Amino acid sequence: MMSSSSMVLMDRVPIIDLQDPNESNIVAQLDAALQQFGFFYVKNHGIPESLIERQFDISKQLFDLPLHIKESMPFDGTLDIGYLAAGGQALEKTLRTAATEPQQKQQQQQQQSTEKQEGEGQIDTKEQFMMTNNKLITASADADHSVLTVDPDNVFDGSQNYYLQPYIPDHPRVTSDYMSASYKLNLRLQHYLFEALQLDSERRRDLGQHPFLVLKQMKYAGPPSDPSKGQYGAGPHTDWGSFTILATDQQPGLQLLWNGGVDQWLDVPPIPNTLIINAGDQIATLTNHYYKSALHRVVTTSRTVRYSTAVFTYFGLSATFAPLPQFCGGDQTTDLAEDPSIGRTTREYFHYKLHQSVYGSDATRGSTDEEKKE
C-alpha cells in the first residue's frame, strides 16, 4: 500500500500491462488506480481475444431468441441466474444506502436533485442474462469441502444454470470457457490486491475460499439515455463484490464518477485488446474506502445496440466484512452504520443489494426471503 502523497495523479483511467515481468510494478499501478479511480484497464490479461469474440457471438444469439424462449428461463434471485428483460432491474435503487464515501454520497444527492425530475431509481433499459457458480449458495455451510471448492477449469460444475444448447449449441462450452478464463484472471488480480494490502496468509485464505462468481451478459437496445429524466442504460451504482471484469463491444457509454478537483462523470471508453476492471464495495469496505468502489453508469447516446459482459467476483461467501486493522483509526474511521457491507457476510450483502435492485425492497439485515430459505 503506497501513501497518497507518493501517488502520481493521472487524468484518465490507466492501462496496466499484466505481462510486466516486474510484479511490484503491477502492484504499484493497481494500488494507484484503485485509490484514484477504482477502475483500470488490463492488457495482456490472458483471456484470448477469440474467446471474447465467441462469447459476444453467444450473447447476440441469446438476446436474438424469441421473447417466449428467453422468458422460459426466468430470473431466480436465490441462485442469481436467468433472464431479466429490459426494465427488470434498477441499479440506481441500490444507492440509497450505497457503500460509498461521504463525499460521494453528497454528490449523489446533488446529482439526483439536479438531474432528475421524477421518481427514484428508474428502470434500466438493459436486458440481461446471468449464470453463477450457485452450488456454493445452495450448499450448507458445513458441506463437504469439495462441494464448496471452485474448479478453475469448470467454474459452473455442479451448479444450476440455464444452458441453451437446444438453441445455441456452443452455449455451455463458450460460457464455461469464458467464465473459467475470467476466474483465472480474477485470481491474478486478487493476488496483486493482497500484495498491495500486504495481507497475511490466514486473511488471504479467508477472503479467497468459496468465491461467488457471476457471469452477466447484457444488451442495451433501449432509447438513448436521458440523465435529466433519470433514464439510463444502467443507472448510477457501485458494484457489490470484489473485482468486476468487464468486456464491452466497441460502443461507448460507460462513465465513472471521478473527483479530479471537481466531481465529474469521466468516460471509460472501449480500448481494443483491453478489459475494464473495477473494484466493488467489498474492496472499498476492506480498505475503509481508501480504495474506491466508484459510482458508475451507462449512458447510451444513440440507437446503436451495445453489448457488454461482466464477470462479478465476490470474496468468500462466508467471509464477514470490516475494514482491515491497518485502515482503522486516525482520520480514516468510517461510520460503520454508513456502510451496509460492514458486519455482513458476502452471502448476506449480495442478497441485500439484489433485493434493492430487482425487487425494490429495502431488505433488512437477515430478513430476506432468500436468506430464510437458505
Pairwise CA distance, residues 207 & 205, whole Å: 6
Total residues at interface with ligand AKG (CB under 6 A): 10
Q: Residue 108 CB, nearest distance to ligand AKG (Å)?
A: 16
The three cell numbers locating residue 136:
456454493
Identify each DSSP E strand in the chain by its residue range.
15-17, 39-43, 82-84, 126-132, 211-220, 234-237, 243-248, 254-259, 263-267, 274-279, 296-298, 306-316
Task: Kindly tell me which of 92 and 195 has the beta carbon lying closer to ligand AKG.
Answer: 92
Q: Using CB under 6 A, which residues numbered 213 to 252 contact ligand AKG?
A: 218, 234, 239, 246, 248
Pairwise CA distance, residues 145 & 164, whole Å: 30
What does each C-alpha distance from 177 to 154, 155, 215 come to in angstroms? 8, 9, 11
Interface characters, 211-240, with Fe ion (x: CB under 5 A): ----------------------------x-
Task: Kindly tell me which of 242 and 334 has the beta carbon lying closer to ligand AKG.
Answer: 242
Q: Using CB under 6 A, which residues numbered 301 to 330 contact ligand AKG?
A: 308, 310
Question: CA 114 from chain center: how many Å?
Answer: 27
Q: Residue 372 CB, nearest distance to Fe ion (Å)?
A: 28
Pairwise CA distance, residues 77 & 349, whole Å: 13
Angle subtended by helix axes 171-197 and 23-36, to nearest 10: 90
Choose the contact partner of 370 out of Fe ion, ligand AKG, none; CB within 5 to 8 A by kind. Answer: none
Task: Kindly tell me which of 97 and 318 has the beta carbon lying closer to ligand AKG.
Answer: 97
Binding ligand AKG by CB under 6 A: which of 70, 292, 296, 351?
Answer: 296
Give the contacts of 42 (CB within 8 A, at least 6 positions apart): 15, 16, 17, 18, 185, 189, 274, 275, 277
Choose the contact partner of 363 out of Fe ion, ligand AKG, none; CB within 5 to 8 A by kind. Answer: none
Task: Kindly tell me which of 125 and 308 has the beta carbon lying closer to ligand AKG.
Answer: 308
Using CB under 5 A as the binding rule, whether residue 195 contacts Fe ion is answered as no
According to DSSP, the residues that pair with 254 across neighbouring strands are: 298
Task: Kindly tell me which of 89 and 334 has the beta carbon lying closer to ligand AKG.
Answer: 89
- The residues that touch ligand AKG, with contacts defined as CB under 6 A, are 218, 234, 239, 246, 248, 254, 296, 298, 308, 310
